[in-house]
């Protein structure tokens, strides 16, 4: 899922210690049943989001629509010229433009923002020759449309709080219809932001399976486009990983895998680390191996005790995850093999 809607392909060519022993294998602490932080699946840049958005209709609304356009294809001459021509054909004006050619994969990446007095169908029609000629994966969305996001949590609330605070303040273009948790601890925090909260205990294999089924049901029920593991202390099953392919992002400590399991900050203190931080990545079936979206670090020294390291680390986790979600919501993240291209 790179953008908020399915791509339209070329015509057919036949060709943290939360106190209960949580040991976060993906960057925090894990649940008493031994599970670590959820790992999901790889990021699929051409799958798009659920095609359920409501777009302004130029027929009834004469105000031009501000579109986001992303394009990925093999790198070859003439792409920029062709895309620019399509924008002109749609009576559009480019307000932002970024591009990158990857020498590693011979892939061309482009992100535009375009003001155009056309609806989606008309813009797609203008772009169709580009799609056909370059076998391009193209995605269109409206700038600023909130990304429907399901947040999974356990006990630690710092990442959830930052996401909901910035969403309510208009700083993060997401919509959160539900928070799901395997612990009840964060229900009051969700209620403070008027977000529905649902608790499903995970204590054995049967309850874990039930929780994962509820996640899938919630994705369908709420038209979820992104699943955020905001310190969710469960490893996702291979089946759930496959079902959420390209739609899950995770946060973990940047100094992992050096300090795995419970109490990573205490381990860091014992080893006298000088840098701590966090990494946001697309989750894959290989724990901590998903494409990296954002990383932050902060320098520390021997004067910091474990509780201070926890506080510093949580700040880094919150801002790193929020930034990653913001870039995804703004269609600024594209995949180039095992790494991401970020159009800031």
Q: Which residues are catalytic?
A: 288
Residue 106: Cβ within 10 Å count: 10
Q: Alpha-carbon distance 122 to 128, whole Å?
A: 10
Q: Please report the sign of the dihedral spanned by the C-alpha atoms of residue 109, residue 112, residue 116, residue 120.
A: positive
The gap between the terminal CA atoms of the chain, to the nearest Å, is 18
Q: Which residues of 157-195 are buried (b: 16+ CB within 10 A; e: fewer)?
A: bbbbbbbbebbeeeebbbbbebbbbbbebbeebbeebeb
Q: Alpha-carbon distance 219 to 244, whole Å?
A: 9
Nearest alpha carbon to residue 244 among 180, 193, 304? 180
Strands 248-253, 226-229: parallel, antiparallel or unpaired by DSSP?
parallel
């Amino acid at each position: 899922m790179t953008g908020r809607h399915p791509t339209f392909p070329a015509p057919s060519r036949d060709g943290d210690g939360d106190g209960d022993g949580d040991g976060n294998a993906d960057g925090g602490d894990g649940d008493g049943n031994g599970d670590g932080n959820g790992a999901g699946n790889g990021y699929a840049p051409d799958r798009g989001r659920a095609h359920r958005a409501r777009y302004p209709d130029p027929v009834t609304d004469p105000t031009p629509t501000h579109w986001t356009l992303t394009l990925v294809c093999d790198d070859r001459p003439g792409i920029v010229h062709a895309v620019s021509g399509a924008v002109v054909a749609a009576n559009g004006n480019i307000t932002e433009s970024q591009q990158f050619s990857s020498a590693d994969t011979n892939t061309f990446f482009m992100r535009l923002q375009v003001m155009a007095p056309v609806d989606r169908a008309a813009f797609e029609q203008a772009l169709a020759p580009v799609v056909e000629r370059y076998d391009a994966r193209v995605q269109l969305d409206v700038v600023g449309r909130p990304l429907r996001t399901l947040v999974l949590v356990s006990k630690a609330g710092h990442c959830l709080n930052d996401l909901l605070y910035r969403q309510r303040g208009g700083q993060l273009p997401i919509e959160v219809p539900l928070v799901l948790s395997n612990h009840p601890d964060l229900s009051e925090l969700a209620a403070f932001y008027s977000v529905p909260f649902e608790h499903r205990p995970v204590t054995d294999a049967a309850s874990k399976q039930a929780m994962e089924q509820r996640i899938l049901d919630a994705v369908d029920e709420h038209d979820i486009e992104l699943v955020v593991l905001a310190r969710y202390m469960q490893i996702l099953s291979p089946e759930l990983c496959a079902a959420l392919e390209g739609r899950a992002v995770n946060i973990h400590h940047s100094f992992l895998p050096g300090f795995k399991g419970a109490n990573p900050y205490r381990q860091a203190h014992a080893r006298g680390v000088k840098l701590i931080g966090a990494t946001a990545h697309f989750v894959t079936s290989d724990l901590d191996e998903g494409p990296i979206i954002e990383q932050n670090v902060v320098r520390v020294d021997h004067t910091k005790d474990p509780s201070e390291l926890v506080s510093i680390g949580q700040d880094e986790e919150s801002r790193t995850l929020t930034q990653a979600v913001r870039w995804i919501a703004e269609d600024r993240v594209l995949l180039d093999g095992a790494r991401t291209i970020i159009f800031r």
